[in-house]
Amino acid sequence: MDVGRTATFNCNVSGNPVGSVVWKKNMRLLSANPRVVFPTKYVVQMRQLKRSDSGMYQCFVSRDLYSAQASARLVIGDLAPKFKTVFAEKTIRPGSYASLACVATGNPDPHIQWKLDGIWPISTRPGILVSSYLSGESVVTSYVNFSSIDILDSGVYTCEAINDAGRISHSRRLNVFGPLFVRPLDNLTALAGASFSVICPFGGYPFETITWKRGAIVGVIILASHLDFFVESFIKHSWIRSDQPRLFFEICFTALRNNAILPCPVDE
């Protein structure tokens, strides 16, 4: 059964008269509550299922010197992560306090990890606190808190919730006022037939336009059909992706902004 559904157990009894009927879960008496309902003494319903409802359910029937029992196991299936709350794009000034938060549910409990510009993992360090905690039933809350934000903290932040059933991610830009800069971008490798994407790893605000190039090929030429590339706008920053890389290749992109060319970190 899936989390949130209703499970119904029936105790089919033959013979008359019927004495007492007792329900147990894992050999402990099962009592009525808002989620545990007994429509009749022969039926028990578990409503709004939670992970903790998994276990062995038993009905015990007794009359005078006779007794019988039956059992069934309730297994709660895996549930891929879903976001309950995510953070929005922010634009702030250096020295300000900032906080990004993602809240996710799933079964098993999801693990939330953070990345900057889709590449660099984020962990606690001076000025930045990354924390996660479990509240309620399989609700995981994760924060990235900046005590005094710096221009170098600007970029695209991604929270990704992961469990055995799947994963889900959310990305938005954190803009910090200041001069523009680009983080060095290493070689990127794509596999033929696989989807490939990269975020322009720049910081600073405000900014005007972002242009991509491959080698000496600049801007719109990279959209040529024989390259199978396209660029999409994503919350005021550029994201380049290939859905059909034709070769197993290494490719380096150079970003151009405000007519300043930022060199590609490989020999061409």
What's the confidence (pLDDT) of residue 265?
A: 37
What's the confidence (pLDDT) of residue 214?
A: 63
Phi, psi (rounded to 5 degrees) for 194: -100, 160
pLDDT tens digits for range 7-40: 999 998 887 777 889 999 999 999 999 999 999 9
CATH of span 79-177: 2.60.40.10
For 12: left if phi > 0, alpha if psi spans -120 to 50, otherwise beta; the answer is: beta
Residues of the chain with CATH 2.60.40.10: 7-74, 79-177
Task: Report the distance separating Cα 168 and Cα 162, nearest Å.
Answer: 7
What is the domain class of 7-74 according to CATH?
A: mainly beta
pLDDT tens digits for range 191-210: 777 777 778 888 899 887 77
Q: Would you say residue 48 has pLDDT above 50?
A: yes
pLDDT tens digits for range 247-267: 323 333 333 344 333 433 333
What's the confidence (pLDDT) of residue 145?
A: 97
Of the pLDDT bands very low, low, confident and very high (cuts 50, 70, 90), residue 184 is: confident
Task: Report the distance separating Cα 236 and Cα 234, nearest Å.
Answer: 6
The CA angle 210-212-214, to the nearest 5 degrees, is: 170
Of the pLDDT bands very low, low, confident and very high (cuts 50, 70, 90), residue 136 is: confident
Task: Please enumerate, as own/partner, the contacts of 124-129 that have beta carbons within 8 Å and a separation of 24 or more.
Answer: 128/153
